[in-house]
Amino acid sequence: MSLALFVPSAPLFSFLSGWNLGWWAWCLLSFGLGYLFLCVRYIPNHRVGVVEKLWSNAGSVQHGQILALDGEAGFEAELLRGGLHFHYPRWQYRIHFHPLVTIRQGRIGYIYARDGEALPAGQTLARVVDCNHFQNARRFLTATAGDQSPCGQRGRQRAILREGVYAINPALFVVITEEKVHALRSGILDTEFSQVQQWAELLKSMRAFQPVVVGDTMTATDPLHPEQVHEVDSIAIVTVHDGPSLEPGAIIAPPVATTPGEEHYHNNFQDPEAFLAAGGRRGRQYQPLTDGTYFLNHWFATVQKIPKTVVPIGYVGVVVSYYGKAGKDLSGVSFRHGERVSEGERGVWERPLGPGKYAFNTYAGSIVLVPTTNFVLHWITGKSETHRYDESLRSIDLVTRDAYEPRLPLSVVVHIDYQRAPNVIQRFGDVKKLITQTLDPMLSAYFRDVAHKKTMLELLHDRDAIQREAREELHRKFHEFDMECVDVLIGKPDAQEGDTKINQLLEQLRTRQLSIEQLETYDRQRDAADRLRMLNEAQAQANMQTQLTNARVQIEIVENQAAAELAKSRKQAEQAAVEAEGELNRARKQAEQAVVMADAELQRARRQADQTVMIAEADSRSTILSGRGEAQRAMQIGLAEAAVLLKKVSSYGDPRLFALSCVAKNLSEATQPLVPERVFMAPGGAADGSGANAAAGLVGVLLNLLIAEKSGFQLVDGPEQQQLRELAENLSREALVHLHDRETAAQSQ
């Protein structure tokens, strides 16, 4: 029973002292004040009072108990809260004042019970009891009627306190917070309190008073480049310290009740009682904690943060699981390099993990990264790629057929099919072991066999063929190991340290090649000189192109003008020739008529010979005059024809052109045969010496001159033309003399 009353102050006592009271009143007042001092207790509101009963008719508490539950002497289970409390006389009760237990926001409090049932063997922490967060000490120690839950156990508790203010009996429970240890010092031994202090220090070092935050970044070693670190999201691996032990042969506890809504769902180990009820076992747990905040009892479960497993792009992760039941081998009967199992079983998982982040428990297995893109392996001393698979590889030592000992640098481009990556890991363990224990001896032996069959020069000259054959052969051999040889790249063989034979051989080859290149250089220089000359000519021609074009245009103009002049001259020559032929025909006709008339006159002269001399002389003179006229006329005709011919020839410019044109024209238009039926004789050719024959001879001479000119004589205004004229005049004179002689002979007769 408790009652909150107003406590009188000093002025009130002063007021009462002024009253005039009797002795009985003072006695009553003194008794009341003494009762209040001896039996009434005041508890502030921010504290609790722990009642310790000094003596009781019921005796002391039983052996092994601390709290008195049935009126025994000792610490009582119920606490006194703030206010006045009666019936607690000082001669029987001692009140221990203790502050309320305060848990700050975002912090955790741990409980140690000093009373309760003893823990059985194998149990580490006391079970959780519904006792209003340890504020009902009597319920913690006893089970009420009809309540099936057992009472609490002594020792460290599985249940924790979250943020808030709690009225907890410090005589029964020791509360460990981040700030202090809440315990009744007068009721706890120093050794026990020292142990509690050690627990508090340990919890503080573990940061156990704070919730576990999972998902924050942490530094981790890059699996591809061990010398580098990078930041990765975290997961937490839980280790449970209570519950049944693992089964024989098990290395990690199986997950239990991990799905919300499932019976005994323990909410990621935050409900220890549900975890144990679901069959959870102590030890490292298979189920990790992913991103989030978790309020864990670090006495029950501790965590270890590890980085998430990252499978980078260009790789797959082959899972080698150490946890799970024995599965069925999926690799087949012919594959005798271990078992390949399904996901969740113990062994090498059949399906690898693709690129990404995984909350993988590395205590339950390992993830072996296998490159799925093309990567290069260098068998070159001192050279290695960033993947470092080839850091232990060296150049291959060879011995050629002619006893040279070169070192062969080699690079091989390799590809691993992501679906066959589990086979590679199952067979070799990891990619580096595959390279060092299989590929390295295989390639070294292959190229040593090739070198034994080749001379040093053949090894240098036949590199393409050797490389092509090696690519085909290694492609076949790599396929047996679930790999693909993409390409083989052979470098220049170099000499061992201190070996100068190969350098001497290469020097000889360089000298030989230099000679060949010099010859080629000389040929190229000669070709260059020729092309330079052609270029200069082309440039000169290009520079003179304008003049050449103008000259060609001038030539075309002159040719066109010459052609026009030639056509005009041809027309004029043809016209003159036609006119000359007409004149010639007329002269011929007139000459024939003159000859006929002369013959007629001669006949008449012969018939009239007997006539008188006067008549004969008259006739003779008449005949002579007519003959002279005819001769003069014939001579003029011949001179005219000769002048015409000279003009025709001069119009052609060359007598041969004129002759050819005349011949061509005569041959094309002639109706008489090529062999003439008539022949005109030169003067003196006629036996009778008549004037007609003389005229005919003159015409023949002219025709002969014409034919001669047509045959190739060039008649120009010069000596030759003068000679022709003189010849024509001589012929005319001879014709006149001949006619005169004929006339004289006729007169004498």
CATH number of the domain enclosing 408: 3.30.479.30
Torsions phi, psi for 396 (to 5 deg): -85, 125
Q: How confident is the model at residue 713 (pLDDT cuts 50, 70, 90)?
A: very low
Dihedral over Cα of 238, 242, 243, 249: its sign? positive
Lowest mean pLDDT among 197-201, 389-393, 638-642: 638-642
Answer with the one of 156, 187, 210 that is the final residue of a domain. 210
Q: Are 99 and 161 in contact (CB under 8 A)?
A: no
| Same domain for 185 and 277 | no
Please give the tally of structural domains in the chain: 6
- Strand 347-349 and strand 340-341: the pairing is parallel
Three-state SS sequence of 330-364:
CCCCCCCCCCEECCCCEEEECCCECCEEECCCCCC
Q: Does 518 map to a domain?
A: no
Q: Does 453 map to a domain?
A: yes
C-alpha span between 501 and 452 (Å, rounded): 17
CB atoms within 10 A of CB 588: 14
| Same domain for 109 and 92 | no
Q: Does 541 map to a domain?
A: no
Q: Are 266 and 259 in contact (CB under 8 A)?
A: no
Q: Domain of 318? A: 312-365
Q: What pLDDT sits at residue 715?
A: 44
State the DSSP code for 319: E
| Same domain for 741 and 605 | yes
Q: Does 49 map to a domain?
A: yes
Range from 164-168, 383-387, 607-611 that averages highest in pLDDT: 164-168
* Sequence-ordered alpha helix ranges (H) in 406-455: 421-428, 431-434, 440-452
Q: Does 523 map to a domain?
A: no
Q: Are 153 and 131 in contact (CB under 8 A)?
A: no
| Same domain for 740 and 708 | yes
Mean pLDDT over the full length of the chain = 80
Q: List the structure tokens of 103.
A: 């848990």
- Strand 74-80 and strand 67-68: the pairing is parallel
Q: Are 298 and 176 in contact (CB under 8 A)?
A: no
Q: What pLDDT sits at residue 552?
A: 80
Q: How confident is the model at residue 601 (pLDDT cuts 50, 70, 90)?
A: confident
- The arrangement of strands across the sheet holding 347-349 comes to 340-341, 347-349, 315-321, 365-371
| Same domain for 720 and 616 | yes
pLDDT digits 0-9 by tens, 514-568: 888 888 888 888 888 888 888 888 888 778 777 778 888 888 888 888 888 888 8
**Does an H or E element contain 74, and which?**
strand 74-80
Q: List the structure tokens of 742.
A: 């004929």
Q: Can you say whether residue 447 is alpha, beta or left, with left for phi > 0 and alpha for psi between -120 and 50 degrees? A: alpha
| Same domain for 221 and 200 | no
517-548 b/e (C-beta count within 10 Å ≥ 16 → b):
eeeeeeeeeeeeeeeeeeeeeeeeeeeeeeee
Q: Does 381 map to a domain?
A: yes
Answer with the one of 484, 499, 514 that is the final residue of a domain. 499
| Same domain for 739 and 611 | yes
pLDDT digits 0-9 by tens, 17-54: 555 556 777 677 676 666 666 777 888 889 999 988 88
Q: Is the pLDDT of residue 746 over 80?
A: no
- Please tell me the pTM assigned to this model: 0.60
| Same domain for 240 and 358 | no
- Strand 173-176 and strand 109-113: the pairing is antiparallel
pLDDT digits 0-9 by tens, 119-132: 998 899 999 998 99
Q: Higher confidence at residue 146 or residue 142?
A: 142
Answer with the one of 292, 307, 322 that is the final residue of a domain. 307
| Same domain for 688 and 724 | yes
| Same domain for 740 and 655 | yes
| Same domain for 380 and 289 | no
pLDDT digits 0-9 by tens, 283-293: 999 999 999 99
Q: Does 701 map to a domain?
A: yes
Q: Does 526 map to a domain?
A: no
Cα within 13 Å of Cα(461), Cβ side: 8
State the DSSP code for 418: G
C-alpha span between 17 and 36 (Å, rounded): 19
Q: Is the pLDDT of residue 605 over 70?
A: no
| Same domain for 226 and 340 | no
Nearest Cα neighbor of 439 from 381, 388, 377 is: 377
